[in-house]
Structure 1
Amino acid sequence: MNEFGVRDDLGVREVDVVVIGSGQAGLSAAYHLRRTGLVPDRDFVVLDHAPRPGGAWQFRWPSLTYGKVHGMHALPGMELTGADGRRPSSEVIGDYFAAYEDRFDLRVHRPVEVRAVREGEGGRLLVETSEGPYATRALINATGTWDRPFWPRYPGQETFRGRQLHTANYPGPQEFAGLRVIVVGGGASGTQHLMEIAEVAAETTWVTRREPVYREGPFGEAEGRAAVALVEERVRQGLPPQSVVSVTGLPLSDAVREARRNGVLERNPMFDRITPTGVAWADGRTVDADVILWATGFRAAIDHLAPLRLREPGGGIQVEGTRAVRDERVHLVGYGPSASTIGANRAGRAAVTEIHRLLDRARQQREPVTVA
């Protein structure tokens, strides 16, 4: 046996629940599993491919300090207090997640790669991992999106002689000093990248598919519910989910107002092709660049679920609450409407509630019926 109770010969280990991912959604689910009496490494296991605690936050760029983070909601049962807003968010939230795992004895296995989830024997799911297989009665998938950066394809892209990179490997503004940079994408990450790069770059150009929508005033509970409802409707239909942020618009902060006044946030429509030295539009306009930064979002990291055939013709997984419609043993948290920190907390709790009902039914079917 290794330190997690997994046999060294990589034999199949049986548990009631496997949680894949230890970001906000995965830790929330693990907390509620623990709170309802399940024991880590005996009744459930949490697997994470990252080298350390922090979920996707640990990979965020250093210039994204904690003070710039919008809407970070505490994990259930433990507040995040006394954080220095000047520290990188990767450090602040990484330390918080590590302390959370310790306090509630969640015993996350890392780094562990989950290769596939497929139908097993006796009504269980077989989870194939780098530390051996698990046979489980239920699965909570909390893998998020960070591992699936979306790169649009444009004619001539392979001919560009400069550098192309994505938000997923954005290093911060310092590497763009004196360069001509095109930022593609109208979301929160794209505007944050653009505003800080503009302070050091020789020239910046902002390109988006749609006109940006700016949001003034407070974003309250009613607005939040309306935004989540739009995303939720897509997953009910089995369509690929949009992020909650994509339907809320960009908050009109003082920094954004200043960037608009200074011409930094002057939006250009999408170019039609990429040239060896930059980009070009159909009307003949061109812009030369040294770097193209794709702030074009992410897709759900669910390829390991492919053997279960959960996808609908629309390309997404149809979900009711957190449960996959095609398989009640599979719950997706941090997916679609729960892809926010507060949504992930709620989804973790909801998934555990439904899984306990599933486990109770399974126990009743195993237990002999006695007749008085």
Structure 2
Amino acid sequence: MEQIDVAVIGGGQSGLATAHALQARGLRPLVLEASGRAAGSWPKYYDSLTLFSPARHSALPSLPFPGDPDRYPHRDEVTAYLMAYADRLDADVRTGIRVTEVRASGGGFEVQVEGGGLIAARAVVAASGSFGRPHRPAIPGLEAFTGTALHAADYGSPGRFTGQRVVVVGGGNSAVQIAAELAGVARVTLATRTPVKFARQRPLGRDLHFWLRYTGIDIAPLGRVLREPPTQPVLDDGRYRAALKRGRPDQRPLFTGIDGTKAVWADGSREEVDAIVLATGYRPDVPYLAGLAGALDAAGRPRHRDGASLAHPGLAFVGLEWQRSLSSNSLRGVGRDAARAARRLARVLARE
């Protein structure tokens, strides 16, 4: 059985930042990425996705994002950046390796991988993000819908919806961006439980992320006091508010039910709908920890404080939404949480 210091599960932004931080502490990480390249979920996001933070605020530790620092990089640029970051790490990053189970063993862990391989690790970092576990909330009648229903994770691009009647469910950045894009080829409604809240992308002439960092809001340890993550406003340079004002897309309260292919709206009207896109977020994707006693709660959510497991000293989490701060699951903030996890694990392993 292969013996290693730390198994880092996930080779996207969280896993790569963690590998960098562990190396700085003199530890030898092994990064295990299920997909075919060290870019995590980024290659799978919808085609038109651009970052909501500029390049200067979207870099991992020790490698600035290339090009104009004030631009908003595209999905493919982020993918290329992460792969370049992995190449510069000089760490053992293995792609196409899916972890199926983590077990406690002799003060450390056994990491089972698909195909039967087994790795003995002194510590484990769960850095697999959430993209693999799209959240599909209980929405009245959705299970009876006979049209096309899909999550934003499977959206891709608007072409296949041309000429259709589409309802996008959700009120966050992705929901608004997808709905506005679809409105160019289809008749689209953005259906939300509460009205969409907007935040100016460049208040006082500076990107919002400059102000978040300048004021300290970006790094404030709010995660430990939040029972439920708050709904964040949609960042907008004016285009999305203008699109809603034009009615492309229009915005309505969430439908009250579904009858076959008909959406039943709050006013009692019924309307044929071809497709429903759920832009309703994600949940932590850590099924490999299900059998590790105390690692997850009854709902499958990590039990942690600031990323440190409450049940296993050698287990850490990196990249969870609101793990510690507003920026914990973002390119701009994950490096701070990775450094914190590496520092703590180094202390744990030094005591062995």
Q: Structure 2 length normalisation: TM-score?
A: 0.87
**Contact 2:289–2:296 (8 Å) recurs in 1:** no
Structure 1 vs Structure 2: percent identity of aligned residues?
Answer: 33
Change (3 A) 1:29 1:227: closer
**Contact 1:126–1:133 (8 Å) recurs in 2:** yes
> 1:334, CA displacement in angstroms?
0.2
Equivalent residue number for residue 267 of structure 1? 251
2:217 aligned residue (203, 213, 225): 225
**Contact 2:54–2:70 (8 Å) recurs in 1:** no
1:23 aligned residue (12, 23, 27): 12
Name the amino acid aligned to 2:224.
E
Equivalent residue number for residue 345 of structure 1? 335
Equivalent position SS for 1:108: strand
> 1:78, CA displacement in angstroms?
0.9
**Contact 2:54–2:73 (8 Å) recurs in 1:** no
Equivalent residue number for residue 301 of structure 1? 285
5 Å-filtered alignment, 1:45-56, equals 45-56=30-41
The CA deviation string for residues 104-136 of structure 1, in whole angstroms up to 9 with x for no partner, is: 21231111111011111x211111112611111
5 Å-filtered alignment, 1:119-158, equals 119-120=104-105, 122-130=106-114, 132-158=117-143
Equivalent residue number for residue 92 of structure 2? 107
Structure with higher Rg: it is 1
Name the amino acid aligned to 1:94.
T
Matched, 1:13 2:2: yes
**Contact 2:54–2:72 (8 Å) recurs in 1:** no
Equivalent residue number for residue 148 of structure 2? 163
The CA deviation string for residues 63-108 of structure 1, in whole angstroms up to 9 with x for no partner, is: 22x4x54356111111121279999833212211111111121231
Change (3 A) 1:178 1:99: same
Equivalent residue number for residue 70 of structure 1? 53
Q: How many residues align?
A: 335
Partners of 2:7 and 2:68 in 1: CA distance: 32
The CA deviation string for residues 169-207 of structure 1, in whole angstroms up to 9 with x for no partner, is: 112122211111101000100000011110111x11110
> 1:44, CA displacement in angstroms?
2.6
**Contact 1:227–1:247 (8 Å) recurs in 2:** no
The CA deviation string for residues 9-31 of structure 1, in whole angstroms up to 9 with x for no partner, is: xxx22111100001111101101
> 1:343, CA displacement in angstroms?
2.3
Matched, 1:212 2:196: yes
The CA deviation string for residues 249-302 of structure 1, in whole angstroms up to 9 with x for no partner, is: 112322123213212354211212112123113542222211111111111101
Which segment drifts farther, 224-233 or 282-291?
A: 224-233
Equivalent residue number for residue 354 of structure 1? 344
Partners of 2:67 and 2:104 in 1: CA distance: 46
Partners of 1:21 and 1:349 in 2: CA distance: 16
Q: Structure 1 length normalisation: TM-score?
A: 0.83
Name the amino acid aligned to 2:177.
Q
> 1:167, CA displacement in angstroms?
0.8
Change (3 A) 1:227 1:274: farther
Partners of 2:148 and 2:317 in 1: CA distance: 36
**Contact 1:208–1:267 (8 Å) recurs in 2:** yes
1:276 aligned residue (252, 255, 260): 260
Name the amino acid aligned to 1:190.
A
Which segment drifts farther, 269-278 or 164-173?
A: 269-278
Partners of 2:136 and 2:342 in 1: CA distance: 34
Name the amino acid aligned to 1:291.
A
**Contact 2:112–2:119 (8 Å) recurs in 1:** yes
Change (3 A) 1:88 1:169: farther
Equivalent position SS for 1:186: coil
Partners of 1:89 and 1:107 in 2: CA distance: 27
Equivalent position SS for 2:41: helix
> 1:152, CA displacement in angstroms?
2.3
Matched, 1:256 2:212: no
Equivalent position SS for 1:342: coil
1:32 aligned residue (2, 13, 21): 21
Equivalent position SS for 2:8: strand
- CA RMSD, aligned part only? 2.5
